[in-house]
Amino acid sequence: MSIESDAFLCGWRVQSEIPLPELLPWKEPGAGVDIHIRLGSVPPLADVTASTPRMTSNGAGLCRVEIPDVVKFSVRDGREIVLDPLVSPDSLEVHNYLLGTGLGLVCHQRGVFPLHGSCVEFGGKAVIFSGKPGAGKSTLAAALAHRGHTLLADDVCVLSETGLGWEVWPAFPRVKLHPASLLAVLGKRSDTSQVNLQGKHHFQFEPVDSFALKPVPLDAIYFLERTQDGTPEGIIDLSGLESLALLQSQTFRRRMGFLLGCREFLFQSAARIAASVQVRKLRRDFDLTRMETSISMLEEAHGISAWTA
């Protein structure tokens, strides 16, 4: 295997045959390799036991994903990913699915809970922003990172349980931003062409300055919701059942996880998170010019402030 990248991802050591510039280099000496990524052929699976429109599984630790005109890849036992790209392996499209769906499948196969959202560190505690597509999760995380808070993850938040509660593992120091968000939050214009990823217009992986390398205790999860009909912006506490329902709805690649036999694990994990972590709604105006209002509400709720970058 020709190693182009020896990298850190959610505490795992990843060795890859393709460069992974989004990830930080692995620096801990003497550690074994957790995930291998290599190039190769990914033919249809024999003896398929479960399937979605994009994924098939043989029930023996191997699943295959096909994104038309972009990439085919397989994930085995959460330890090996084989990429069969239909475009350049260095393209944004391939890396988006590798570090999105691919990471989600690794989590399901390894028995780790993945939540769809973006995460920053507030005063030594992790805060996750989840919600429907277009809710502004990445934009809010980028704005907070630009303000001086530490980024932990974008799109896939990898959670693990300890004797003291839940913690979030840092993924990589980049967020995926639309051109409008990039300009409004960071004052930067596009330096690459926008790419249509199966109808989702992710722009680019934008680097941030502040990033953690150790897991951070999870303090709160916010579900972003747009204000409607004159309802005021604000933070709303949720009941246990409401929290559980939202956590289940935002489990990353939940249907794929179900088909891989993780239904009970995912439900029980969501229930324990709902019982031990603050789960709230952040109701706000999605106007990018009002981002400061959302940031102020969050900092006040957590009793912290940050320097402005």
All domains in the chain, ordered by first residue: 5-301 (3.90.228)
Long-range CB pairs of 228-234 (<8 Å, 24+ gap) are: 231/283, 232/283, 233/283, 233/284, 233/285, 233/293, 233/294, 233/297, 234/283, 234/297
Please give the Cα distance from 5 to 103 (Å, whole number). 16
Tell me the pLDDT tens digit for each residue of 263-306.
Answer: 999 999 999 999 999 999 999 888 888 888 898 999 999 988 65
Query: Average pLDDT, whole number, for the chain?
Result: 88
Backbone φ, ψ for residue 226 (5° rounding): -80, 135
DSSP 289: G
Please give the Cα distance from 88 to 240 (Å, whole number). 46
CB atoms within 10 A of CB 238: 17
Asked if pLDDT for residue 252 goes beyond 50, the answer is yes
In one letter, which amino acid is 121?
E
pTM, to two decimals:
0.91
Tell me the pLDDT tens digit for each residue of 169-214.
Answer: 999 988 777 666 665 566 666 655 545 544 444 445 556 667 878 9
Asked if pLDDT for residue 92 goes beyond 90, the answer is no
The residues facing 169 across adjacent strands are 158
Please give the Cα distance from 251 to 230 (Å, whole number). 30
Instruction: Give the residue from 87, 86, 73 showing the smallest Cα distance to 36.
Output: 73
CB atoms within 10 A of CB 107: 26
Instruction: Give the residue from 178, 138, 172, 168 showing the smallest Cα distance to 155.
Output: 138
The b-or-e profile of 198-214 (16+ CB within 10 A means b, else e) is eeeebbbbbebebbbee
Asked if pLDDT for residue 226 goes beyond 50, the answer is yes
Least confident of 8-17, 105-114, 299-308: 299-308
Tell me the pLDDT tens digit for each residue of 40-88.
Answer: 999 999 999 999 999 999 988 999 999 999 999 999 999 999 999 999 9
Tell me the pLDDT tens digit for each residue of 111-167.
Answer: 999 999 999 998 899 999 999 888 889 889 988 888 888 999 999 999 999 988 999
